Amino acid sequence: MVTPKPTFTSKTVKVHLYFPGKTFCSSNPRDSEYYIFKDLLLRMYIRAMEKITEKILLEKSSPKTNKLEQIKILNLSRMGLKGEDLPVPLLSKLCSLEQLDLSGNMLQEIPKGLCLPSLKILNCSNNEMEDVVSLEAQRNVEELRLEDNLYLTVNDEHKVIFLLPKLRMFNGKDISSTAHHIRHGSTEILRKRVIGVWERSFSLPDPITAQSLAAVEKRFVHAACTQIKYGPNSLSEYTKWRVEMIAKEYLKSLTCSDGGKITYTTPTKENETPAERRPRDLGGNSVTSPQKRTRNNSEVAAEASPRKSSRLASAAPVEASPRKSTRVTSTPLKTDPIMSSPRKHARMTNVGTPEGSPRNSSRLENISQKGASKTESPRKAAKPVISTPTSRPAKGESPRKTAKDQTTAQQSKPKTAKTENNTPRKTASAKLKVPQEPVSLQPLHVLQCHSRQDSPDDFSTQLWACAFEPPQECSGGGISGGSRTVATCGGETLCVIECESGHVLKKYKVPGEEFFSLAWSTVLMSRTGGSARPCNILAAGGKRGLVKLIHPRVNLAFGEFRASRRAISIMRFSPRNASFLFTGTYENKIFLWDIGGLDRDYNFKISKLLVLETCSTPLHLSLLPTSPDTHLLSGCDDGLYIFDIQLSKNTQKRNEEMEIVFPVYKKKDKKNTYRTIDGLSFLSDDIVASKSHMQGSIYLWSWRATRASWNGRKKEVPAVVLAELQWSSTDVPYLSLGTCPGYGYVVCGDEQGRLWMYHITDTMMENFKSGKTISATEVLEWPSPVRAGMGALEGPSINGIAMDPDLHYLVALTDKNMAVVWKRESR
């Protein structure tokens, strides 16, 4: 009997994928997998059968008693509980309860209406908490634990300290001095500033009506939240939350009589100013959070933290994707974001209105005209519920298919770059010092961790970009971390994944967003005493045109800025100037930003350095490996363009210096121009790999030789092609390629979930002959993950690929909400 072997990832992924043919024997009690499987079944049984009843409460209580009213300690940890599993009427009887452990469950909030008046110690660690405002009713809590809740940020920590007036121990630390400042010092400062905004610009309506007062309140709150800045940027969300609360309380104090009811009359003294009226105490906690909305509310503030915001409601179509989803509409917001972290930019408009894709609609057109049957059928077959990482297939089953023997077509002997003027195909003199033996990869995990509302039925979310975390130099001269950690983006989420285990280490959500691109960089953060330390940060952007800045190691989304009125298509940090960030946008522009360094409170300053004008949407950006501060290569929807990015020149706005043209352009017809560059990456300091939509192959060409052939007058420069690699003849666009220079690999996925791998060595480069295409070294077949009773999933399109520098891992992203992690086998 074949039994599936369970594999585990993060708690954010709830269903598992298995490879066919993988057997599991539970007859050996010494096998650790037996206990894993047994534990899984036990948890499933508890989840299905056990409810919180009076009997269970008495069994898990201390001291033992037969009355709920006498329970003082209650342990409900690791029971797989959700909010709906906690019966408020029954738990409300625990009037003497002093200590409650809810750790290791799946709680997103404490149920509304639950008040435990004697509760002093509460443990909610290792849950899925999103709403700390739900803790407000437990006002007598003195000790609280909230560790390992992925969606909570430092802003939530400040909120909970303010909401619980008796809290003195938080996550095991004494917060007495911090709490006093949060509850009193900062509140008084913000109150004075709120009153200042009112006195400068506002007055009570005459006459006072419910409608007029509501209008004044809306304008007053907006003005206060926009104008008042206080504290570090990392706490801007908390500051806005408190300012809104204080503003509403202040306005209420101006219009309420002693009985607390609003009197809709004009003031008795026409010359009386708001400052002359005695405001009420604004330190109360009676106003609910303006940032937190109920989980069913489709209007969610964009400025809420990515990891804790309410989950996206069903306003947007389920099938929405970067190339088939809602289009970003123009907003009246300022486009010059010279600021620290402007979270004041409010919501994106028309989120649920289906329009043309922010990423060129050519994909839809091509699919409908030519490949509809090929691309639609896998989606229909993908409706079975799936998720999570997979284990490897049995050793007898290899998902790979070795390609045909490489053709003997090889290129002619190289000429020097200076003699290459009009010849479109020559060989490069650059050497590829890479291992001569090809690597062997096996599938390790298949993860479904970008689902909308964490639904295992979501096969429409397209995953677009992934990148490995850069390693950091240790003080001892070694290298720490990075090579196993990969960031992925798609839909409304970013995930940081540990490749070996398949665990989702961090997950950030921005409801209503659709992430198209991300990039890592190592920037300096100042420390006490004037020293600085490097830290790896992650930048991500999508259809809202906002760049999110995240420090995953400390679980903090510390800032954002607006890069465009329209969607962001691609992002790239400079390897030489770590704070320089290029953003390609759907307004046909590439911006170069300097985010500077970070101070110890995560404050940063944005400055715009360059604006590069493109004729179409930039899809890929590449910087020269040897001189990344001189030229930028941009693969766009209508060609490959080269920009001079040297800051020594005075011109801030620039057009392309030249356009690289390829032999495939000559095949232009009424249906296709072959000018969409949907794959671009450097294989070495000189060799570039690129491909055009519907080309059916991948070009390897020399940057130096091509550049040398430019006479400085003509815009169009023929690429000096070194080799042409045979690839899929698919008509599906935007299937990007990846390279691993250290091992001489070019990898590109296709529309069937396969990976075409090309091992480019010195020997191959020296023996290439012109006019022939080179077969793939190997084609890795789609691993066909299955779930018991559902059958194998057909191969999806591979949208993006990333490899770590040592090629220990390869990550492939699909258009069906699956990320596949491959691992190199040791020989």
If pLDDT is split at 50, 70 and 90, which confidence band does 252 have?
confident
Residues 405-428 pLDDT 10s: 433 333 333 333 333 334 454 444
- Would residue 421 be called left, alpha or beta, if left means φ above 0 and alpha means ψ between -120 and 50 degrees? alpha
The alpha carbon dihedral of 312, 317, 318, 324 has a sign of negative
- What pLDDT is recorded for position 789? 65
If pLDDT is split at 50, 70 and 90, which confidence band does 721 have?
very high
For 81, the token pair is: 């509980």
Instruction: Please give the full DSSP string across 453-507, using - where no structure is assigned.
Output: GG-TT---PPEEEEEEPPPEE-TTS-EES-TTEEEEEETTEEEEEETTTTEEEEE
pLDDT above 50: residue 339: no
* Stronger pLDDT, 474 or 84, i.e. the higher one: 84
If pLDDT is split at 50, 70 and 90, which confidence band does 178 have?
confident
- CA nearest to 452, candidates 519, 511, 380, 538: 511
Please tell me the distance from the alpha carbon of residue 355 to that of residue 439, in angstroms, as a whole number: 44
For 324, the token pair is: 């088939």
- What pLDDT is recorded for position 42? 57
Specify burial of residue 783 (Cβ count, 10 A radius: 0-12, 13-18, 19+).
Answer: buried
Residue 565 per-residue DSSP state = S
Place of tokens 């020097």: 416
| Count of residues making up the chain | 827
pLDDT above 50: residue 296: no
Place of tokens 């909010």: 83
- Residues with Cβ within 8 Å of 188's Cβ and at least 6 positions away in sequence, in order, are none
Please tell me the distance from the alpha carbon of residue 683 to that of residue 745, in angstroms, as a whole number: 7
- Residues with Cβ within 8 Å of 353's Cβ and at least 6 positions away in sequence, in order, are 326, 327, 329
Question: How many other C-beta atoms can be found within 10 angstroms of the C-beta atom of residue 261?
Answer: 9
207 cis-preceded (ω within 30 degrees of 0)? yes
- Residues with Cβ within 8 Å of 762's Cβ and at least 6 positions away in sequence, in order, are 431, 432, 433, 434
Q: Where are the alpha helices (DSSP H) in 92-185?
A: 154-163, 176-180
* E strand spans, 493-630: 493-498, 503-509, 515-526, 532-542, 546-551, 556-562, 568-573, 580-585, 589-594, 607-613, 618-623
Region of poorest pLDDT, from 71-80, 128-137, 781-790: 781-790
- CA nearest to 465, candidates 801, 101, 691: 801
* Stronger pLDDT, 42 or 543, i.e. the higher one: 543
pLDDT above 70: residue 28: no
Please tell me the distance from the alpha carbon of residue 807 to that of residue 741, in angstroms, as a whole number: 10
- What pLDDT is recorded for position 663? 93
* Strand ordering across the sheet containing 143-145: 61-62, 73-75, 99-101, 121-123, 143-145, 169-170, 173-174
* Stronger pLDDT, 31 or 186, i.e. the higher one: 186
- Residues with Cβ within 8 Å of 269's Cβ and at least 6 positions away in sequence, in order, are none
If pLDDT is split at 50, 70 and 90, which confidence band does 827 have?
low
Mean of the pLDDT values across residues 3-11?
41
SS3 label, residue 509:
strand
Mean of the pLDDT values across residues 582-599?
94
Region of poorest pLDDT, from 64-78, 158-172, 766-780, 788-802: 766-780
Please tell me the distance from the alpha carbon of residue 411 to that of residue 728, in angstroms, as a whole number: 22
* Stronger pLDDT, 436 or 544, i.e. the higher one: 544
- What pLDDT is recorded for position 684? 93
Mean of the pLDDT values across residues 597-603?
87
- CA nearest to 754, candidates 771, 732, 769, 774: 732
Helix (H) or strand (E) holding 250: helix 236-255
Helices and strands (H, E) in the chain, number of each type: 12, 43
pLDDT above 80: residue 377: no
Residues 725-775 pLDDT 10s: 999 999 899 999 999 999 999 999 999 999 999 999 877 766 665 567 889
Mean of the pLDDT values across residues 554-568?
91
| Beta strands at 73-75 and 99-101: parallel, antiparallel or unpaired | parallel
- What pLDDT is recorded for position 610? 94
The alpha carbon dihedral of 101, 105, 109, 110 has a sign of negative
- What pLDDT is recorded for position 512? 86
pLDDT above 70: residue 37: no
- What pLDDT is recorded for position 389? 38
Region of poorest pLDDT, from 307-321, 573-587, 595-609, 687-701: 307-321
pLDDT above 50: residue 302: no
Identify the top-confidence range among 365-374, 411-420, 609-618, 642-651. Answer: 609-618
Q: Where are the alpha helices (DSSP H) in 304-441?
A: 362-366, 372-381
* Buried-exposed string 267-277: b where 16+ CB fall within 10 A, e elsewhere: beeeeeebeee
Q: Are 390 and 789 in contact (CB under 8 A)?
A: no
Question: How many other C-beta atoms can be found within 10 angstroms of the C-beta atom of residue 291?
Answer: 24
Mean of the pLDDT values across residues 628-640?
95
Residues 731-740 pLDDT 10s: 899 999 999 9
Torsion over CA of 489, 493, 494 and 498, rounded to 10 degrees?
Answer: -100
SS3 label, residue 157:
helix
CA dist 466 to 516, 538, 570, Å?
10, 11, 12
Residues 75-101 pLDDT 10s: 999 888 988 889 999 999 999 999 999
pLDDT above 50: residue 263: no
- What pLDDT is recorded for position 363? 43
Please tell me the distance from the alpha carbon of residue 35 to that of residue 379, in angstroms, as a whole number: 36
**Mean confidence (pLDDT) of the chain:** 76
Place of tokens 């607006």: 562
| Phi, psi (rounded to 5 degrees) for 795 | -65, 130
- What pLDDT is recorded for position 170? 93
Residues 637-687 pLDDT 10s: 999 999 999 998 877 899 999 999 999 999 888 888 899 999 999 999 999
- What pLDDT is recorded for position 479? 42
